[in-house]
Structure 1
Amino acid sequence: MRDQYQEQLDGLASRLAGMCGEVAAALDKATRALLDADLRLAEEVITEDVNVDTIRAEAEEQAFALLALQAPVATDLRIVVSAIHGAGDIERMGDLALHIAQAARRRHPQPVLPDEVAPYFAEMGRVGVQLATKAAAVIRSRDLDAAAELETDDDAMDDLHRHMFTVLMDRHWNHGVAAAVDVTLLARFYERYADHAVAVARRIVYVVTGQMPGPLTV
């Protein structure tokens, strides 16, 4: 019975790690759609978002079943509760990738980004995918050092996000208000995506140590 219970807990973690893989792929596609005005990739992200929603629903159903039937305590209880919250964070990452893809579709066939900011968004996409991939690894390994690395990686995203405001406030910006609004919103989507990945890592720290790291507003 205990072996079966442990398999269920492991399966729950596997679902969450799989979700991280899904949203990493979604952000990669959405970023390429954004940079290349690729309507096909944008449509793929939009269509496939339902997969992440489905996995979240299945993960939550499994977690609530464990709460009801197994009455977990201590570490096991932290795993189940963190899984419920973590599934929400990961689904939100998928939603943010979706928003990026929708922006690419909305402006197609015109590019969304001025050439001068495109390299920064390419880097934000790279950092975001890396964060989601690392979050999946942390869920599987419960490695506290690896979880802490996500905080450092998130600093890079925050720096890129802040730099966008410097670019927008530059008196040489000549791309108009609509482009400025697009850049502002898109940079925020990437920054929040990273924040949710860090929140997932922090929930793993809570699972292992019993203490949640400092608050993160997402």
Structure 2
Amino acid sequence: MREAYHDQLEELAGRLADMTGMVADAMENATSALLQADLGLAEQVISGDQKVDDVRSSIEEQAYALLALQAPVATDLRTVLAVIHAAESVERMGDLALHVAKAARRRHPAPAVPEDVQPYFAEMGTIATKLARDAAVIIREKDVTRARALEEDDDAMDDIHRHLFSVIMDKEWAHGVAAAVDVTLLGRFYERYGDHAVSVAKRTVFVVTGRMPGYGGDEDL
């Protein structure tokens, strides 16, 4: 019975890792749609968001069933609780990728961001996708060292996000208020995506060590 139970816990963590991979793909595609004004790719991300939501609901249902039927304690309990909280963060990551895709669709056929800031969003998209893919590996392997290192990549995201403010506030900005608002919102979407990826990694540290790490950012991202 205990072996079967632990198999169920591993399956639960594996499904969470799969879901994290889904939102990595979503942000990668949303960034391509944003930079290439690719309406078809934007629509693909938008329609695919429901699948992420459905997976989250299914994961939560499985987790609550384990709580009710198995009454887990110690590490097993931490695993179930961490999965429930992490699934919420991963769903938010999917929502943020959705927002990027909707921005691309809203501005189509024109590019959603001016050409001179596109390299910043390309870099943020690369970082965001890496954060999510690393988080998926961290979940599967329960890699505490890698989880703690994830914050360094998120720091790079924060640096770009802060720099964008100086770009749009510069007197040389020639793209008007609407473009400045778009850049501000989009930068925030990427920054929050990174925060949620770090939050997922922190949940893994909690599972392994029994303590929620206090590195970088709020505890409830």
Q: What range is the shorter-chain TM-score in?
A: over 0.9
Counterpart Cα distance in 1 of 2:113 and 2:134: 28
CA shift digits 1:129-185 (9 cap, x unpaired): 000000000001111110011111100000010010010111100100000000000
* Equivalence map 1:23-172=2 (5 Å): 23-172=23-172
Query: Is 1:13–1:83's contact at 8 Å kept on the other side of the alignment?
Result: yes
SS in 2 for 1:103: helix
TM-score (norm 2): 0.97
> For the residues of structure 2 that align with 1:28 and 1:216, how far apart are their CA atoms?
26
Measure the CA separation in 1 of the matches of 2:68 and 2:23. Answer: 29
Cα distance between partner residues in 1 of 2:157 and 2:194? 7
The residue number in structure 2 matching 1:17 is 17
TM-score under structure 1 normalisation?
A: 0.99
Counterparts of 1:12 and 1:189 in 2: how far apart (Å)? 28
Residue identity opposite 1:75 in structure 2: T
SS in 2 for 1:211: coil
Let me know the Cα RMSD of the aligned residues: 0.7
Q: Any gaps of 5 or more consecutive residues in structure 1?
A: none
Q: Which amino acid aligns with 2:66?
A: L
Offset at residue 3 of structure 1 (A):
1.2
- Stretches of structure 2 that go unaligned for 5 or more consecutive residues are none
The Cα of 1:73 is off from its aligned counterpart by 0.2
Q: Distance in 2 between matches of 1:144 and 1:85?
A: 18
Partner Cα separation in structure 1 for residue 92 and residue 10 of structure 2: 23
Return the alpha-carbon distance in structure 2 between the equivalents of residues 5 and 23 of structure 1. 28
Give the conservation status (yes or no) of the 8 Å contact 1:131–1:150: yes
Query: How many residues get paired?
Result: 218
